[in-house]
């Protein structure tokens, strides 16, 4: 397994729309394992393939306290949204930035495939619901800060540029 490079906002590759997965062979299995290792090392609770410059409909998630309940979502789609969510979210592609996104549902039903191509349906709420919606946005080429006001986006860009200068 390997730690993958995570793309950072405003990298244009984060806006690439992911394509459906059709091959469940060894390359996909390695990518899933590498994404899981990368997510845990970051540390994060979710990671979309788009964030590691692999533009396929795949994301991994683990919202457990122990970080021992890896979930794999391939070709996911939300079939039901319910309620409103007020949780703050962050993103491995936008390090150090946290904010609430107003258009998140409290609970979702998602249909997807596991790492072997077996279909499943999952009802999720709370942090897992938020994570699923956030990672699905990545697969559609959208980053959570793009839901925020123009003023907040400008402040985030200024902060990210300042942080990059400090790290050089």
Return binding residues for Fe cation.
91, 134, 138
Q: Which of these, 28, 65, 58, lies nearest to 43 by C-alpha position?
A: 65
**How long a stretch of residues is the chain?**
168
**Of all helices (H) and strands (E), which one includes residue 160?**
helix 150-167
Catalytic residue among 37, 65, 89, 135: 135
Instruction: State the DSSP code for 32.
Output: H
Q: How far apart are CA 32 and CA 109, in angstroms?
A: 22
Preceding amide of 10 cis, omega within 30: yes
Place of tokens 């609430």: 100
- CA quadruple 117, 118, 124, 127: dihedral positive or negative? negative
Feature table: binding site? 91, 134, 138
Place of tokens 């979502």: 73
135 is catalytic: yes
CA 131 to chain centre: 7
Mind telling me the catalytic residues? 135
């Amino acid at each position: 397994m390997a730690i993958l490079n995570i793309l950072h906002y405003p990298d244009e590759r984060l806006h690439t729309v992911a394509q459906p997965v059709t091959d469940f062979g060894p390359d996909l299995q390695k990518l899933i394992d590498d994404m899981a290792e990368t997510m845990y090392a970051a540390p994060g609770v979710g990671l979309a393939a788009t964030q590691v410059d692999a533009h396929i409909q795949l994301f991994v998630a683990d919202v457990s306290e122990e970080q021992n309940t890896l979930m794999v979502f391939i070709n996911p789609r939300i079939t039901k949204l319910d309620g409103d969510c007020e949780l703050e979210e962050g993103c491995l592609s936008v390090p150090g930035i946290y904010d609430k996104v107003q258009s998140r549902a409290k609970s979702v039903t998602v249909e997807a495939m596991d790492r072997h191509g077996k279909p499943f349906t999952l009802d999720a709420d709370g942090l897992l619901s938020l994570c699923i919606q956030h990672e699905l946005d990545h697969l559609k080429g959208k980053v959570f800060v793009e839901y925020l006001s123009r003023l907040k986006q400008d402040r985030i860009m200024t902060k990210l540029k300042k942080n990059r200068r400090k790290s050089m």
